[in-house]
Structure 1
Amino acid sequence: MSRSTVYFADMRAVPEMNLLQKFRKLIETAGIDGINFKKQFAAIKLHLGEPGNIAYLRPNFSKVVADKVKELGGKPFLTDCNTLYVGRRKDALEHLDSAYENGYNPFCTGCHVIIADGLKGADEARVPVAGGEYIKEAKIGRAIADADVIISLTHFKGHEETGFGGAIKNLGMGSGSRAGKMEMHSDGKPSVDHDKCIGCGRCARNCAHKAIRITDGKANINHDNCVGCGRCIAACPFDAVQPDWEGSNILLCRKMAEYAKAVIDGKPSFHIAAVVDVSPFCDCHAENDAAVVPNIGFFASFDPVALDQACADAVMKAPVVAGTYLDDQIKKNGAGCDHFHTIHPNTHWEETLAHAEKIGIGVREYELRKI
């Protein structure tokens, strides 16, 4: 099986070439000019960031991509889908308010923001998944499904359910409508360890589906209402809410890969990742913990699988920043097989890439070319 090419640029800058200019050089060297953008709608899929979290990717980089697409005759727009859980991105109006607050507006980025699945997260297109083992029809936000070209612009970071959030997660989970997100999460539902639960109610306040009640000082989850989104797991400060790790996480990773295939199958696509501010948790949180490794740089490729693998390898090789969550976990439990497993021991990020390769999205073997 042939290797894919992944291009890399580090964070160094000089007066003759600042970081944004270097970023532009990276995507040009990686071949973005080879895509026919003329009069094509180009979806730049990214995470707009939950307000309060400042680890999300700065809008300056999206402007570089949007400006390049316009130079090539395309019609770029920034896009994301609404969230499944409570927060400030659960409907299009709040989502747009959040985007503008975080600097994602036409004045900073040079293009508009479109919430792909509409006002309430129900505007979706059903897209067949060729060769899908778990998903036959993915429920994709309509604006993303309608786009002619897909560009993923990803902030690479840790994630409590998938190990890390990379291009596949950005494309797959991020492009699913609310029903699509439910479908990806639905095979596993969390439960509460009452020995650890103190009845603080934080899990209930973060549940968008009224599945959690505090009874006799303890949280209880009604699985008839629960959609398995996992927000309560992240919300609990005492690790009292536990997921069904016996397969649900693996299925989530595989379904997410199949959703990613539905998004890019049959369309020109290009993928960029920023391995900077590598927080241990997702940008969906209204806060971000300290970066667990030093800033590494930017990666670009036509292959999202190779891109994710290259980013993961780079983080694995990076030194651990003292005093961070990763450092705490190493001191507490010892170093794991990789940084992501050390942070989130029950996650299975390899399953995402293995399944993505199996269904034909890309390959994990790559050649890294530094610019």
Structure 2
Amino acid sequence: MLYFYPLNLINIKYILYYMEKSKVYFTSLRTNPNNNLLDKMERLVRKAGIANIDFKNQFTAIKIHFGEPGNLAYIRANYAARMANLLRSFGAKPFLTDSNTLYSGGRSNAVDHLQSAMENGFNPISGQCQVIIADGLKGTDYREIKINGEYCKAPKIGTAVADADIIISMTHFKGHEQAGFGGTLKNLGMGAASVPGKMELHSGSQPVINTENCIGCKVCKKNCAHAAISLNANRKAEIDYNKCIGCGQCVALCQYDGALMGAGDTSERLNYKIAEYTWAIIKDKPNFHINFVMNVSPECDCWGHNDAPIVPDLGIAASFDPVAIDKACADIVTAAPVAQTDNILSSQHPHEHLEGKDKFHLLHPDTNWLAGLRHAEKLGMGHLEYELITV
């Protein structure tokens, strides 16, 4: 028996929305004496329609990761400077911004964060605009933006981002040990969250110690910003859950699978929360996104090192759709061969090119990056279906 359901206007709009394809513009890294990479980036974003935004006298946040000291995979300040100058030519008031980190390191407060940014080339001279730490001196300067999401009701967003009129994200596209990969959603949803916001994102993700694997090296203990880890009489790590905030730094640092994410949390849940935080940031504002698919390192730029890239440098993408641009870049990395150099994937899969393989899942088997993109699409943030336009 066949059943026919009446189509009303709401149903038709819903169907048409999910049938749409967003445009993602992409350029390779090939250059010539008359067309360098900075020129190509500007041409790309112009082709993608960035000039259609009304920037006149608008405070425009350029959300970018300044890179942990010692990590060299972050986006070069030259690209940020070119973008700042372009936005200023449109009448904008641009500034570079990022929020403080939850864990110990060179970016956990504004003083250290600005010093780290300067060391990596981000300052008013080289960046051609001011650098503002979005959530203030100690990470407590934020706005709660009500969205009544399924996982987050009122994301706590760094004030400089929350108060900005326009959001431009510039993202180094790379692997991530908890989210699968770090793209536009991760850059905005996690990166622009205040310190209390990051605690909410990581809540429920307290790690556990696998005592069979723990060798008592104390790396986790030395790097825990909250003094939550100690060694017991058997020289095995132990976690004080009254102090642990679930930031996951010990999981990422352990080279022996001695620290693992607890059963109460999943990569899916973290990615759902990141999507909702991103939605809070961009839902009422013009926004535009650029992903740099180069130096695709296995893990986040938050670490003070960057392992060898897993694929060759591939190009730069731009789009108004944060979902589509992340999906397109993930597909581009999937389609590419693994870099034929000494890197983690070539070492684990010798004599394999891995074209068509989800390299982020190979790197981090317990992650599910697609879940976050699907949740973002469900929120109305963008589309998984896209048209890739080569510039």
Sort the TM-score into its range (normalised by shorter chain).
Answer: over 0.9
Q: Distance in 1 between matches of 2:30 and 2:236?
A: 51
Q: Are 1:352 and 2:372 an aligned pair?
A: yes
Q: Distance in 2 between matches of 1:334 and 1:260?
A: 34
Question: How many residues end up aligned between the 2 structures?
Answer: 370
Q: Distance in 2 between matches of 1:358 and 1:333?
A: 36
Q: Distance in 2 between matches of 1:267 and 1:245?
A: 37
* Residue 225 of structure 1: how far off its partner (Å): 1.4
Deviates more, 1:312-321 or 1:331-340: 331-340
Where do residues 1-371 of structure 1 align in structure 2 (5 Å cutoff)? Answer: 1-129=19-147, 132-216=149-233, 217-245=235-263, 247-322=265-340, 323-331=342-350, 337-371=357-391
Q: Distance in 2 between matches of 1:332 and 1:11?
A: 26
Structure 1 runs (4+) greater than 6 angstroms displaced: 332-336
Q: Distance in 2 between matches of 1:10 and 1:328?
A: 27
Whether the 8 Å CA contact 1:41–1:147 is kept in 2: the answer is yes
Partner SS, residue 126 of structure 2: helix
Q: Distance in 2 between matches of 1:296 and 1:342?
A: 19
Whether the 8 Å CA contact 1:44–1:150 is kept in 2: the answer is yes
* Residue 245 of structure 1: how far off its partner (Å): 5.0
Alignment-mate amino acid for residue 133 of structure 1: E
Q: Distance in 2 between matches of 1:197 and 1:66?
A: 47
* Residue 246 of structure 1: how far off its partner (Å): 5.5
Partner SS, residue 291 of structure 2: strand
Partner SS, residue 33 of structure 1: helix
**Percentage of identical aligned residues:** 52
Q: CA RMSD in A?
A: 1.6
Alignment-mate amino acid for residue 345 of structure 1: P
Whether the 8 Å CA contact 1:20–1:64 is kept in 2: the answer is yes
CA offset digits 1:184-203 (Å, max 9, x no partner): 11112111111111211110
* Residue 211 of structure 1: how far off its partner (Å): 1.0
Q: Which runs of no fewer than 5 residues in structure 1 stay unpaired?
A: none
Whether the 8 Å CA contact 1:188–1:249 is kept in 2: the answer is no
Alignment-mate amino acid for residue 316 of structure 2: F
Deviates more, 1:243-252 or 1:117-126: 243-252
